[in-house]
Structure 1
Amino acid sequence: MTMRSFSGEQAMNIDRRWLTPITAGAFLLSAVTGVLIFFHLDIGLNKLAHEWLSWLLVGAVVLHVTLNFGALRRHLSSRLGAGLLGLCMLVLALSFLSLGEKQEPPFMASIHALADTPITTLAQVARREPEDVREILRGEGLHPESDAQTLGELAGPNPHRQMLLLNKLLGQH
């Protein structure tokens, strides 16, 4: 099948001889790396390959659907085909709902712990003097009055701001 661009020029020749192997290969890559990630068995570049090379699968499927659009329309005209597609769309919509549990990345536990640590302890972790920590915080517009105060008390509950401040405190000096 030859695709035409919006200007009417021939843009690409979609041929099953190359499209089917690319689609199958991209699916295999995505499926295997996805299963490894699901069971926390991924190593090396598995996650990176899954995230980025899945775009190959998306592109191949779009071309495959384009090539077989007539057959897809026939399948969707049946109750079974329309129902299965509707079910998949419902599952997709439900996947955006939150079940009330806020999940954070694992590293956030250490951010929260450091943000709830008094300045004196934070200074030890940062290998700085407490006065140096207070001075850095003042330079960031905060007003530490006591070494017993925490970064969370001074910076507020915004974890992004806390991370930026921790980066300043723990960075090179």
Structure 2
Amino acid sequence: MPAFLSRYATPLTTGLFLVSLISGIALFFHWGSGLFHGMHEWLSMVLIVPFVLHIWKNWRPFSSYFKRPAMGIALALSIVAAAIFMIPASGGSSGNPLVAVMGKLQASSVETVAPIFGHTGESLAAALKAKGYTVASTQMTLDDVAKASGKSGIDMARTLGSI
């Protein structure tokens, strides 16, 4: 086992980390999500094995990090960063706060959100109609407009981003 550790732990950790890094960046920017999603999930799980082997191989120098404040600070900052995504955004839901914001936006009327996009209720309704949406009233929620038009909330978000 020591020869295997010496030969493969660090190279596999490096290779799989690079795959995870590149696929994570692609997912973040929504580039080829269908291509990268499964790869990122599964190979990030596979990364656990060489990571553990790498830590085992380098245990003595690695453990010395715990004698200095840098490791404690880095771990605390990492936990805080993770917690930001775990704290309930509103109404007991958790997850990405941008999803919660988008949910609130979609539950708002055309009239209410229009100023965010530099429009009046009527001009936003007209812009949505020009993009193929059915807007019977500026009091309709964006979600209702999307549903009435046979489109999804994601479609609505993409449209709003281009108006």
TM-score (norm 2): 0.50
TM-score (norm 1): 0.47
Greater strand share, 1 or 2? 1
Greater helix share, 1 or 2? 2
